[in-house]
Each structure stands twice: as structure tokens, then as C-alpha cells.
Amino acid sequence: MIPWLHEEVVDAVSDEIALTWFHENDSDEGSNNEWPTNVMGSFKCGNNACYKKGWGSKKVAMLIRGYPRNGYNAVVYNQRCRSCEWLGILKLNEQSYIDRVAYWLKMWAGVPVERPDRKKKKKTPPHESSLCEGCRSGICQQSNAYH
């Protein structure tokens, strides 16, 4: 979970939603909405002995949960290195996180929002479900397990 970006999320929704709060427990208990989605980020292999220095991903799995009175939390899932299968160290694209959380908070609050443009601009490597912790947890949109 990324509580340190809460103030930026609040700023992103403050024109439409007066009060937003961050639910600190990684639990769906008490939640009234949830949505699997993805954000962007880059990873560095956590294994110092591995030759693979890092990789980028436009499909970093995330689960956003909504709670009463505009509460939320969001769990961002890790990825494993293709070379050694160690967990990567995520450097989150913070703006993609803020934009995605703000979008769903507004949707759940009934605020009219425009759907983001999801046109593919650049060909990216295929998603590797065996290396995605979101897929392993049944959360990732790229796996069919969640739906």
C-alpha cells in the first residue's frame, strides 16, 4: 500500500470530494467497492548476483478498495525478475497511481468522470503471469482469475 501519496490523491479529488481518507488495513472488511486495475512502474532486481538490472512495466497490478464516506486503499503488487525470479524492487510511476485512485474515488462518489484514453501507443512485451504477484494472488486484470 502507498499511504505516502494520500495527500496527492486528496489534491486530485478535492474539487469534487470534500473529504477522503486512507484505510490503513490491507483488508476488504468494511469495503463497499473494489476494482482491479494497473499502474505503471519500473523494477530493479532484488538479487545482487543477477545480471538483469531492471525492467519497466505498464501493467503493474493494483487493487483499489472503496470504503464508506470516501475512504480507500490500494494494494500495488510486485513482479519477479525474468532471469532469477527474485522479487523486484518497485519504483512506482506516482502520477499513474494518483490518477487511477482519483478516477475510482470519483466514480464511486457519483462524480461524472471521463473514461481515460486506453489506446495502445507503444507495443510492449506480453504480460508474464508467472512473474506477476497480482496474477499469483488472482487480482491482476491480465489473468482471468479475478473476473
The tens digit of pLDDT for each residue in 28-78 reads 999 999 999 999 999 999 999 999 989 999 999 999 999 999 999 999 999
Query: Rounded to two decimals, what is the model's pTM?
Result: 0.90
User: With 80 as the cut, is the pLDDT of residue 147 above it?
Assistant: no
In terms of Cα–Cα distance, which of 136, 102, 126, 128 is closest to 116?
Answer: 102
The tens digit of pLDDT for each residue in 90-138 reads 999 999 999 999 999 999 999 999 887 766 666 767 889 999 999 999 9
Contacts of 91 (CB under 8 A, 6+ apart): 41, 42, 43, 44
Q: Is 134 helix (H, G, I), strand (E, B) or coil?
A: helix
